[in-house]
Amino acid sequence: MALEIERKFLLTSFDTSLAQRSSRIVQGYICSDEGKTVRIRIKKEKGFITIKGKSDKEGLARYEWEKEIPLEDAEDLMKLCSGGVIDKVRHEVEVGKHTFEVDVFAGNNQGLIVAEVELSDKNETFATPDWLGEEVTGDPKYYNSMLMKHPYSEWK
């Protein structure tokens, strides 16, 4: 299992011309209990299964295991997911030595835009582009698994 270390930020808007790559992602959760999630994802006609562990106390790091699976299997497993799906377009933006993943949500989470940057160490520094907003690292309401249960459209 690998350790995923990431920081998460809100954006109020995003200029898609900044992105080097973009792709639509549809994902659902077979399990989204406190401390563990099992996610099924379809991205670029490929399927993935991901298991994530509990975040550390800062919300910066958690164990993650991901494996590509046949698209047909992902489509079948998506039927086991409860609560619908997360639908978003991910834009990858290279800034300095890092790639920011900017997720522009659709459906019940439309209007929410979140940027994440993965790090190799909790104390690693990174360039902060001026389009980054408030940091929400560790705030569970911004976890995709929580957005299934309490979508952004219900917050206001």
Selected catalytic residue, list 29, 142, 143, 152: 29
> Is the CB of residue 118 less than 8 Å from the CB of residue 38?
no
* Whole-number percent of the chain with pLDDT over 90: 84
Burial of 123: CB neighbours in 10 Å, binned 0-12, 13-18, 19+: exposed
Indicate if the alpha-carbon torsion angle 46, 51, 56, 59 is positive or negative.
Answer: positive
Catalytic residue flag (residue 29): yes
The predicted-structure confidence for 23-63, as pLDDT tens digits, reads as follows: 999 999 999 887 899 999 999 999 999 999 988 888 888 99
pLDDT on residue 117: 97
> Is the CB of residue 77 less than 8 Å from the CB of residue 68?
no
Instruction: Give the domain range for residue 69.
Output: 2-154
Residue 5 sits at the vertex; the CA angle it makes with 148 and 142, to the nearest 5 degrees, is: 25
Answer yes or no: is pLDDT of 137 > 70: yes
The predicted-structure confidence for 113-124, as pLDDT tens digits, reads as follows: 999 999 999 999
Residue given tokens 């360039």 in the structure block? 127
Residue 6 sits at the vertex; the CA angle it makes with 59 and 32, to the nearest 5 degrees, is: 55
* Number of structural domains found in the chain: 1
The predicted-structure confidence for 74-87, as pLDDT tens digits, reads as follows: 999 999 998 889 99
pLDDT on residue 51: 95
Distances (CA, A) of 151 to 67, 119, 139, 145, 148: 27, 27, 14, 10, 6
> Is the CB of residue 133 less than 8 Å from the CB of residue 114?
no
Confidence category of residue 5, pLDDT binned at 50, 70, 90 = very high
Answer yes or no: is pLDDT of 1 > 80: no
Distance CA 24, CA 120 (A): 26
CATH number at residue 17: 2.40.320.10
Answer yes or no: is pLDDT of 147 > 70: yes
pLDDT on residue 59: 83
Read off the pTM: 0.93
Distances (CA, A) of 45 to 19, 24, 25, 41, 67: 20, 10, 10, 10, 14
